[in-house]
């Protein structure tokens, strides 16, 4: 039973560039959430995708955008990269069993992004 | 905004039970208590969650006080591989899908 997978594992970009990170949810899951974890801090919620729509967003600027595909996989895009975007980006998946009910999220290993 | 308070760090001996406390005095009736842990440089791992009753699974036990204002995660026989940051998270049961992580407790298991 495949868990949550993310690619790439590591990435180096320069300021001003754009980056796309990818996530495949755990088998059978239909919901994907993205988190940013700066060094020494807990993960911070970016947004969640369900039925190919963003349905909840954390306190992140519009430079952070996402997409969910019909097969439930997801992408996180960050434009105009800043040095402060350097972090571990985590994807978590869950299964929506009853509308509106929060479900347990399972995390992938993350993508470590370094912005120079 | 984390709704929980945890000690920043704790040590425990290998083979002994590790009891991790968490205060959540403002918890409301429809909010669950979730526990995750994060081993260095890996993604958080789900451990257990509960609403009112005590819960047990293959990883740990969760004891929630009757007034629900605090809880304890118990790792029954700690091993070196249990060294990690442990996060206690309070989360609504409906319509708020995020997990709000605080600073957690850094648990070091010593041989």
Residue-by-residue DSSP string for A31-66: EEEEEEE-TTS--EEEEEEETTEEEEE-S--TTEEE
d(CA B71, CA B109): 21
> What does the pLDDT read at residue A75?
98
d(CA A73, CA A91): 10
With bands split at pLDDT 50, 70 and 90, how would you rate the model's confidence at B77?
A: very high
Q: What is the mean pLDDT of residues A100-115?
A: 94
Q: Is the pLDDT of residue A100 over 90?
A: no
Phi/psi zone of residue A97: left (φ > 0), alpha (ψ -120 to 50 degrees), beta? Answer: alpha
Q: Within 13 Å and on the Cβ side, how many CA atoms surround A88?
A: 19
Nearest one of B42, B102, B98, B46 to A49, comparing CA atoms: B98
Strand partners, B45: B37
Q: What is the mean pLDDT of residues A91-98?
A: 92
CB pairs under 8 A between A and B: 62
Q: Is the pLDDT of residue B95 over 90?
A: no
Strand partners, B91: B32
Q: Is the pLDDT of residue B2 over 60?
A: no
Q: What is the mean pLDDT of residues A29-54?
A: 96
Q: What is the mean pLDDT of residues A77-95?
A: 98
Write out residues 49-108 of B within 8 Å (CB-CB) of A: 49, 87, 91-104
> What does the pLDDT read at residue B104?
96
Both tokens of A49, joined, read: 């995708």
Q: What is the mean pLDDT of residues B67-86?
A: 97
> What does the pLDDT read at residue B94?
86
Q: Within 13 Å and on the Cβ side, how many CA atoms surround A58?
A: 19
Q: Is the pLDDT of residue A114 over 80?
A: yes
Q: What is the mean pLDDT of residues A55-64?
A: 97
> What does the pLDDT read at residue A99?
79
With bands split at pLDDT 50, 70 and 90, how would you rate the model's confidence at A88?
A: very high
Q: Which residues in A8-26 are b (16+ Cβ under 10 Å) and which e? A: eeeeebeeeeebebebbbb
> What does the pLDDT read at residue A1?
64
Residues 6+ apart with CB under 8 A from A96: A30, A31, A50, A103
Best residue of A104, A106, A114 to probe chain B, by most B CBs closer than 10 Å: A104
With bands split at pLDDT 50, 70 and 90, how would you rate the model's confidence at A61?
A: very high
> What does the pLDDT read at residue A2?
78
**Nearest CA to CA, how far is B5 from chain A (Å)?**
14
d(CA A29, CA A97): 10
Q: Is the pLDDT of residue B18 over 90?
A: yes
Strand partners, B75: B18
Q: Cα angle at A47 between A43 and A53, to 5 degrees?
A: 155
Q: What is the mean pLDDT of residues B77-86?
A: 97
- The Cα diameter of chain A in Å comes to 43
Q: Chain A residues with CB inside 8 Å of B32's CB?
A: 102
d(CA A4, CA B96): 22
Q: What is the mean pLDDT of residues A56-78?
A: 98
Query: Would you state the torsion angle of the CA atoms of residues A41, B59, B24, B63, taken in this order, to the nearest 10 degrees?
Result: -160
Q: What is the mean pLDDT of residues A16-26?
A: 98
């Amino acid at each position: 039973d495949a868990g949550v997978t993310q690619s790439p594992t590591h990435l180096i970009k320069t300021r001003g560039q754009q980056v796309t990170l990818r996530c495949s949810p755990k088998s059978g899951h239909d919901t994907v959430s993205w988190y940013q974890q700066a060094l020494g801090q807990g993960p911070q919620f970016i947004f969640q995708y369900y039925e190919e729509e963003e349905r909840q967003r954390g306190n992140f600027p519009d430079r952070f955008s996402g997409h969910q595909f019909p097969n439930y996989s997801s992408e996180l895009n960050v434009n105009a990269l800043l040095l402060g975007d350097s972090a571990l980006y985590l994807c978590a998946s869950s299964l929506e069993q009853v509308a509106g009910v929060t479900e347990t999220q399972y995390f992938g290993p993350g993508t470590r992004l370094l912005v120079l | 905004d984390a709704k929980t308070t945890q000690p920043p760090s704790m040590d425990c001996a290998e083979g002994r039970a590790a009891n991790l406390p968490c205060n959540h005095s403002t918890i409301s009736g429809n909010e669950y208590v979730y526990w995750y842990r994060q081993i260095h440089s890996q993604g958080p791992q789900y451990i257990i969650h509960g609403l009112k009753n005590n819960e047990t699974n293959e990883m740990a036990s969760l004891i929630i006080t009757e007034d629900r204002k605090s809880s304890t995660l118990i790792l029954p026989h700690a091993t070196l591989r249990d060294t990690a940051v442990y996060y206690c998270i309070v989360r609504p049961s409906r319509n708020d899908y995020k997990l709000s992580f605080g600073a957690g407790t850094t648990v070091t298991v010593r041989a």
